[in-house]
Structure 1
Amino acid sequence: MKDIKNAETNPLLKQHMFDTYECAEAAFQHIKWIYISMERPGLPILSDLAMEQFRSADGEKAFQLSRALDQQFPNTYHSQWQNGLRDQVMWMILNIKFKNPALKTLLNSTGESFLIEHNNRPGKDKHWSDNHDGSGDNALGLMLMAIRAGQTQMPIVTDQHKQMNRQKLSQVNQFISQYSIFKIII
């Protein structure tokens, strides 16, 4: 994952805009903490070894690193993170990721399928996933479908999208319950 753009005019983010990551999750988690550092320069976050580890982390390791920082700095978010900034960051990262021809082909191979980020339990991630029970935003699924369709504007989660998530998840669950030999990992 290379070429993190939209660094605005902030020198701290510009410093990281050409970082290379093993996966999108590592880029997302690292950039989240870079934004926190920009807003709270007194926190010793970027000098921490964990921040350097994001570049070589796989998705699970990046998630664990971010959770460790969450524990070290509880209730620490960028003021705009949950007001659209996290979506802008993910949209940017996914657009970079799917410039890779092999990954773009793989995404396109899903055709017109409704893409769901499904979690194994409720409460794990209500924004990016379906929250296991269809009550989540499924923002990741919506972004992937928008990229697949060639949209340049980031999709916004609406009540209509949430209703569609619940309907699609219900259909998937009905299918799985009919065929107990299948385990679908989305």
Structure 2
Amino acid sequence: MAIYFYKADQPYGCFSNFSPHPITINRIPWQTVEHYYQAHKLLGTPDQPLMEVIRQAETPEQAASIGRDRARTIRVDWNTAKQEVMWTAVLTKFLTHPDIQRVLLETGEESLIENSPKDYYWGCGKDGSGQNQLGKMLMRVRSYIRQQAT
């Protein structure tokens, strides 16, 4: 049985990048994975100063809005770098917060699916044909944590 997740306030909401689980990477605190991810789209671009604006955004929704603004210059390597950026953030989140790490591990071997109706890359999309890259990444994080425990 697959486990579907999407919104931070729904079942398995801790799997959402919008969940209120702060992370610290390279001694820099981030309110959510979404803040970190959206800010790193701008690394090395003329819009890099906005990374701090995104980091300080009051909510992950605001961080996402700034990061998704098409007027911004996204880094040229983003299509390849986004997987590594997300891995760093998601792994850090689950290593930092034992309570949600336990939730992740308790999913056993179930498939994890981000039930985003709009995102066909990180989620499954409206019709289920999306790549579900976030769900796949969470399953890799789950395996990684298990391997580290042995």
Please report the TM-score for the alignment, with normalisation by the length of structure 1. 0.59
Is the partner of 2:113 in helix, strand or coil? coil
- Output the CA distance in 2 between the equivalents of 1:151 and 1:101: 11
What is the deviation of 1:148? 1.0
Is 1:110 matched with 2:107?
A: yes
Residue 9 of structure 1: aligned partner: none
How far apart are 1:151 and its partner, in Å? 6.4
> Could you tell me which residue of structure 1 aligns to residue 88 of structure 2?
92
Identity %: 30
2:135 is aligned with 1:126? no
Structure with greater contact order relative to length (CA < 8 Å, sep ≥ 6): 2
With the length of structure 2 as denominator, give the TM-score of the two structures.
0.71
SS in 1 for 2:84: helix
Residues 53 and 29 of structure 1, relative CA distance in 2, 3 Å threshold: closer
The answer for the alignment partner of 1:57 in structure 2 is 58
User: Secondary structure of 1:51's match?
Assistant: helix
Structure whose residues are more often strand by fraction:
2
- Give the unaligned 5+ runs of structure 2: 1-21
Q: Which structure has the larger Rg over C-alpha atoms?
A: 1
Q: 1:110 to 1:57 in 2, by over 3 A?
A: farther
Provide closer, same or farther for how the CA distance between residues 137 and 95 of structure 1 changes in structure 2, counting only shifts above 3 A: same
What's the C-alpha RMSD, in Å, of the aligned pairs?
2.2
Quick check: 2:34–2:63 contact (8 Å CA) kept in 1? yes
Q: SS in structure 2 opposite 1:3?
A: strand
Kindly indicate which of the two structures has a greater share of residues assigned to helix: 1
C-alpha separation between the residues in 1 aligned to 2:89 and 2:41? 12
1:52, CA displacement in angstroms? 2.4
Cα distance in structure 1, aligned partners of 2:144 and 2:113 = 18
Q: How many residues align?
A: 124
Q: 1:55 to 1:107 in 2, by over 3 A?
A: farther
User: Match for residue 3 of structure 1?
Assistant: 24
Q: Which amino acid in structure 2 is aligned with residue 59 of structure 1? A: P
Give unpaired runs (5+ residues) of structure 1.
5-16, 153-186
